[in-house]
Structure 1
């Protein structure tokens, strides 16, 4: 067992502008005092809601169906043996997550022994479909994070923020963390095969603080993918950062990367020096990627580079959150996310770079993205429209030969989170909130699957209609899946369309697949403006505060019988995404019969609880054993202590009023 490792496996349940938001989880440990950041009011209707953005009730008006309407009957011709313009082979783990370092202990867990079970379940869902998961812990708050000795932070915490310090160049207070954060990541990997990206602090380059590289290589091992060399360096000389002089340019950044490589090569504690760093992770705000490539950074330091990376948000909400920039009319902006042109427009800035990465045998990585920087938009980032947009954006990146896309997770004051833990002072009676972007991750994982050989092609179907994009997935030269979008909201069904799918006329002379039937899973909601209760194949994560990370409900998979000519007519309701499985093998590979999940059976809060033998619950109506006990459960009350001692039996408790559940064996903590 690692230091700080989990409870023994014998006790486990059968393994069942750019982004510079300041994140502060409620009740996060303060190192030396000072006042925590004030909580900004939501950009939604402030007169009626001023709580955390993650739970903002703002619902926008869905755009009306286009006029003229979309064509509702059209053919989709696939070819055996492959199609032109197929992407590079892609992994099912393509769609991953970027977690802001300052909120990592709120999302991942308290420490290496007390991991958040919902997070394990969320990662396990992706792992079961894709084989593994990619997660980055970093962001602006990594830029001046300091690794400190265990036990040196107050209350034995593993991550803390120094509020006594002035704001740093990244717009956030300095972080301190212990190696137990890395042990927690390693333990998460053991359960869910999660692989990680971290970042080297670039606030001080003389010398670089390389402890995170030294420790992570040892602790996380081969599940440590790479280290970001600077986060958005194109903004280093732009207020409010200004930690580089005016005129800081791509050549200056490349020079600093050279110093990093040199120091790394001279560090005896760093054992793996090849394929280590990601560059340049620019925001596309000031520099273009080509300006960085033109410095010769890849030619000079290619052997030290894991991959090439960029970060991109299509819009920003900085005016509403920080009072800087131009305010955005959220309702007027909503339609811009609801068509294929939103994704194809964004990708134009990176086509040269993805080709350049391919030429240099490096992966191209979208290291941080989401609907809008500065925490996203109320009513857009947390709507079903965001699920459609993020999925289409991910497929567009895959088609244009990116290898990974990481969607950002912020704190309570972010609208766009794929998943949000409850505030720490509500964690004993509320569950997690699952956002639309997480549903997109599940669809992407199933579409690409665990083969690591899936190739994507944008079909330009329906004569390139922007509201009805579609993609084909090929493996080994044969089409295995189709992904069909309908961005329109129309409850009259007049905008539902039917795609008639046929396979034949192989471009390499191979015989056609000609399935006699196909299976279809749907990502559904009533409207693009709907919030919560989305369904994937009939299952849901519910509304705010309703999820333990497991899909709920019965699986709903439609079987479509093809006609005598082996043409398969698949209906795509407005709005929805249809994932069409063309072979039984492609369906079985991503549809586990027995979902592996993790129950919560350890409670960190033991005040105001009562210990009851589970067998008593099984054989009574809840009154047995309580006949002679009258008293309070308040902490320190004598009758409370007497009650706890006098109850028959000893059992691990999950407070039933907290909405958790009693399970048979201990694993990890809530």
Structure 2
């Protein structure tokens, strides 16, 4: 027996020696247990203004822009895309109703062609739509006519919900329209509040086909009232809120809400942003109602060139979306429209071809879609010496683990990722020349170039292969970049 034991010891493979790790390396450990609800299909969606639909798709419902369609599909592979159509233009739009005068604040007329194009968009993508209905015009007849046209032409099977109004918390404080003599007109009196909205919503909702969505607010003071809203409106089957971390309107540069690179990378813009909707999420779920942040992007007011259109917005998107997963949101719609500083892409049609120039932020959305596929669950991580590096991890249905690392710092870091897996891992990088770069972004070495005619990444795919030694993957994480490790 002693001889056999000695022989076994002599022939056993030697234990692998740990790879030397610098003393300043960031050490990451991932939990074995997955926690939280599975990420639902269609978690990552888009939000479009009414006025953005035809510029993105073209005006022929029989031949929609294939580049735009592909850019939408990229974000929800093998899923039904979630599209919210509304935004500010929800309360600026109407569908002409015989015998009814156009409301004064209306500046967008929804035509039969617009409806046909929107139907084709939903049908071509297999999408689910949240359609905004004008509340600020304060006309039940106009709202009923608009909703009826949506259901009749776009088609009820494609409509997830009708969202009545947009950010009603601003009706009494934000100009609805300006008269020819320069007088500013507000949609409601200055004392308009949540209770005022609740009464109006109930009155308008009786004439609308269900299901409904709301309250479509971004006001933190209204978030704790979500439960009261849902209790009063049983036909609301989808709760919706909005979230923006920064804005330029009437704020000094020193304000943490003013859009700068540093402010967009601060916890205020990601962790605190999600914490601000967490109460609404909990209240909706207590009533078994799903809730989407159906309008979110970087800055809510004004323009922020060099921030919202730069690579920093891609890193912000990764952290902000995962923070929304953390607080339990059932989905997020990233807002975009032509002319916005934060537009995800610019679409043009020349000759017989469609082209798109893709913004840096879109690359961040693509990486999130890879890191958080449907059915995966957020899992806990622990870090040591990882200042400036944010870590997220998910585990999929078949046990595949994905670890996303976002290095917001100006320093290159060595990462030591502890893992119980002996499998080789893959490493994909999201990079740009700098945080303020508006071009030169790559994901896995690929890009859309200066413009794309396919809507697909192009170029050689560069995915590194990592081998675990002594239960640890060791690799470098360049400054101001992100990486996705999958094993």
CA distance in 2, matches of 1:477, 1:549: 29
What SS is found at the alignment partner of 1:346?
Answer: helix
1:456 aligns with 378
- Structure-2 change in CA distance of 1:436 and 1:215 (3 Å): same
Q: For structure 2, which runs of at least 5 residues remain unmatched after alignment?
A: 1-21, 177-185
* Deviations 1:431-483, CA, capped at 9 Å, x for gaps: 3221122112211211222xx32222463534673x21111112359452111
CA distance in 2, matches of 1:454, 1:482: 12
Across the aligned residues of Structure 1 and Structure 2, the Cα RMSD in angstroms comes to 2.9
Q: Shift in Å at residue 107 of structure 1?
A: 1.3
CA distance in 1, matches of 2:419, 2:263: 32
Q: Shift in Å at residue 401 of structure 1?
A: 0.5
1:555 aligns with 461
What SS is found at the alignment partner of 1:515?
Answer: coil
1:440 and 2:374 correspond = no
1:198 aligns with 131
Q: For structure 1, which runs of at least 5 residues remain unmatched after alignment?
A: 1-69, 151-161, 265-269, 319-324, 504-513, 583-670
What does 1:40-119 correspond to in 2, within 5 Å? 72-82=24-34, 86-119=35-68
CA distance in 1, matches of 2:46, 2:65: 16
CA distance in 2, matches of 1:392, 1:430: 32
- Structure-2 change in CA distance of 1:299 and 1:485 (3 Å): same
CA distance in 1, matches of 2:232, 2:444: 48
* Deviations 1:475-529, CA, capped at 9 Å, x for gaps: 3594521111111234xxxx223132313xxxxxxxxxx2321112211112111
1:498 aligns with 415
TM-score scaled to structure 1, two decimals?
0.62
2:4 aligns with none
What does 1:293-308 correspond to in 2, within 5 Å? 293=226, 296-302=228-234, 304-308=235-239
CA contact (8 A) 1:101 1:138 kept: yes
What SS is found at the alignment partner of 1:89?
Answer: coil
CA contact (8 A) 1:122 1:550 kept: yes
* Deviations 1:132-163, CA, capped at 9 Å, x for gaps: 3211111111214222499xxxxxxxxxxx9x
TM-score scaled to structure 2, two decimals?
0.84
Task: Find the partner of 2:343 among 389, 399, 417.
Answer: 417
What SS is found at the alignment partner of 1:580?
Answer: strand
* Deviations 1:195-215, CA, capped at 9 Å, x for gaps: 221111112344252234334
1:134 aligns with 82
CA distance in 1, matches of 2:109, 2:384: 53
What SS is found at the alignment partner of 1:91?
Answer: coil
- Structure-2 change in CA distance of 1:339 and 1:88 (3 Å): same
Q: Shift in Å at residue 429 of structure 1?
A: 8.4
CA distance in 1, matches of 2:419, 2:379: 16
1:183 and 2:116 correspond = yes
CA distance in 2, matches of 1:447, 1:230: 33
2:12 aligns with none
What SS is found at the alignment partner of 1:87?
Answer: coil
Q: Shift in Å at residue 250 of structure 1?
A: 0.6
Task: Find the partner of 2:395 among 468, 474, 478.
Answer: 474
CA distance in 1, matches of 2:467, 2:155: 48
- Structure-2 change in CA distance of 1:464 and 1:567 (3 Å): closer
Q: Shift in Å at residue 76 of structure 1?
A: 2.3
* Deviations 1:29-75, CA, capped at 9 Å, x for gaps: xxxxxxxxxxxxxxxxxxxxxxxxxxxxxxxxxxxxxxxxx985233
Aligned residues: 451
CA distance in 1, matches of 2:198, 2:385: 44
Whose strand proportion is higher, 1 or 2?
Answer: 2
CA distance in 2, matches of 1:180, 1:487: 45
CA distance in 1, matches of 2:108, 2:380: 43
